[in-house]
Structure 1
């Protein structure tokens, strides 16, 4: 070894140590800034957690709920409806009064029977309950017709759910709202940080300092991943409470690496927003414009099947859609790592493409 090689190695070791020290210092400073910013802390944890609690309490007893239906008169069909566990009958004096209550929204529908004629009137403004009532009444009428013939039914139906009978709505709510919470933290955190640092000339000073850009970026990524892990722990802990009844199934822990990949995808969106916006207000508005529609179109608040087919196709370009699907597969449906192949591929590809685009348009100063 020559004499000149020793200083080179010492400088390399010194540079590595300096880079590591800078990384820790930046990551620590960013995390402290996150904790001390009460508004950011609120919108990262309590705000989305509030949605989980509200939806969990609202839909917690969904399985035991019954639709109230008005009835006028009596007869075999109405007697059969009384035995149904899906509806709760409300006797009403006459059809005019019943129709007035339906129009007012007090009840979704009413049924009246006059001999062999059964009349069902419903409010089209409440399509979900109206469709449910139509299905129930139609089934009861068909059964009554078969019974009137005196012949045994030719076909029988054995219906049952494939999941555990104890499955609660929180199983489907928790992954979706958690995905939305992670997107808020990652997109807003990265976008507002970039805009704020550029506005205050922090990025300019970092560029002139002996700190590599990858160190600055890496420290912010680590903070975002740490916040996502914190959100996962808090959300799952709350959802596991007896009041909500979350049950983790199968290889549920696979949701953690998937959540981290989703965080990187959302982080890249935030970097792209921060590259274009010049003020915190503009960045906040752009982030909301992206995360909120993405949440509604990705199944975070209600099942994706409830939206039109063409919007379901459009939602496939959103990382939140694939994050939701993947977490549902491993946390609710009890599937394994093979179910994550497509979500992982999409999330990684999305992060690379949007990340490269953000790097291309990134500006250190206005």
Structure 2
């Protein structure tokens, strides 16, 4: 078995053993979808004519997938470094690409399952959010989004040395980003300065691309712009992650 396969298999076994985390990883976005669907059913955003649910559903899915990618790799890298697992991997023939690549595959599987469950519920008659012609575009969008936030998780997992610090840093970044990027509230109803501020946040671009794919809001250029923004953030965050990565507590 290759190092890549062994790390992927080990990561999978560790992830499915924690049933509470598995449950909330997949159930949390769906709970938000149902809650927002009940609260905002039939209500439109005045300036755009689109429903509140068309905004919040896309944002909740984006936030859920991004959270899973960030927390998954962040906690894993921190724990492996503290337990000297990364040091042992470093002494083996396994390259860094195998370590990160194995986590990417797991994050991609989690994101795929999250998206499939979410799209399945969103297509129910009570929601009706997914046009038949658009939802396949969600696949490349999610792949790019997972890569972007995986890089952010690598940075967090590299600078944090305790579970509390991983959770603190990740929540400090992800929660404000969710509110400021339009995951929970439509950007169209926010002040102009806040909409401009959201342009420096990767979640804004994931929200826009997912919204265009999931609900048909906007056109293909909006999806392309969102993907381009994610690609830029992937390059930037990837460069920072390579600099910040540590095999041990000291190096």
Corresponding residue number in structure 1 for 2:143: 260
Distance 1:277 1:56 in 2: 37
Instruction: Describe the shift of the 1:334–1:281 C-alpha distance in structure 2 as closer, same or farther (beyond 3 A).
Output: closer
Number of residue pairs matched?
248
> What is the aligned counterpart of 1:250 among 110, 121, 133?
133
Corresponding residue number in structure 2 for 1:54: 35
Corresponding residue number in structure 1 for 2:170: 287
User: Helix, strand or coil for the counterpart of 1:299?
Assistant: coil
Q: Check the 8 A contact 1:249/1:332 in 2, yes or no.
A: no
2:236 paired with 1:353: yes
Corresponding residue number in structure 1 for 2:17: 36
More strand by share: 1
Q: Deviations over 1:196-253 (max 9, x none)?
A: 1111111111111221111111111111111111110011112222333333253321
Distance 1:247 1:261 in 2: 20
Q: Deviations over 1:106-145 (max 9, x none)?
A: xxxxxxxxxxxxxxxxxxxxxx9xxx9xxxxxxxxxxxxx
> What is the aligned counterpart of 2:76 among 186, 189, 193?
193
- Displacement of 1:287: 0.4
2:154 paired with 1:271: yes
Distance 2:165 2:241 in 1: 17
More helix by share: 2
- Displacement of 1:346: 1.3
2:207 paired with 1:321: no
User: Helix, strand or coil for the counterpart of 2:184?
Assistant: coil
Q: Check the 8 A contact 1:298/1:320 in 2, yes or no.
A: yes
**Structure 2 gap segments, 5+ residues each:** none
- Displacement of 1:194: 0.5
**Structure 1 gap segments, 5+ residues each:** 1-17, 64-127, 133-159
Corresponding residue number in structure 1 for 2:245: 362
Distance 2:227 2:125 in 1: 32
TM-score when scaled to structure 2? 0.91
Distance 2:235 2:198 in 1: 19
Corresponding residue number in structure 1 for 2:112: 229
Q: Check the 8 A contact 1:251/1:336 in 2, yes or no.
A: no
Q: Work out which of the two has the higher radius of gyration on C-alpha atoms and give 1 or 2.
A: 1
